Amino acid sequence: MALAGATSVRSVSGVALNAPRMSSLLSGGWMMPISPERRKLYPRNWKEISLRVRREAGFRCQWCDAGLGEAHPVTGSKVVLSVHHLNHLPEDCRRANLVALCQRCHLKEDMRAHVINRRVNAARREREAGEAAGQMLLL
């Protein structure tokens, strides 16, 4: 399906895209963002590395085969691809450590780390709240 006013249409993983939309995809568009506090962990050329991995995967999730920009076969949401570090170390950008994943597969893979982080952060917030309350008593 071409967009109105599109002059040329190409396909990525079976999805028809007009030239501007294709350009956005192939230049790194539709990429999961990196949080500002974690950006320093990634190499300067991360966008190029990520694009290369997603391109080599045919713009499809390497675990469930969901295609970039398509409706996800399970969730129905628009598929966004990210590049996952298998060893969870963002500074390790060896090709063997990187895999293109849809948001669902990436979240499933990182679920344990997310649960642990949530518990650690909740405990930290509780401790800080207790410390702040103790400081208020001293005043």
Q: What is the pLDDT of residues 17-73, one digit of tens each?
A: 444 444 454 444 556 678 888 889 999 999 999 999 999 999 999 999 999 999 999
In a domain, 14, yes or no: no
Three-class SS state of 31: strand
Which residue spans within 31-130 are E strands per DSSP? 81-85, 98-102
Domain count, the chain: 1
Q: Residue 124 sits in which domain range?
A: 33-138
Average pLDDT over the chain, rounded to an integer: 80
Specify the pLDDT at position 139. Answer: 54
In a domain, 71, yes or no: yes
Model confidence, pTM: 0.64
Q: Considering the chain, what percentage of its residues have pLDDT values greater than 70?
A: 73
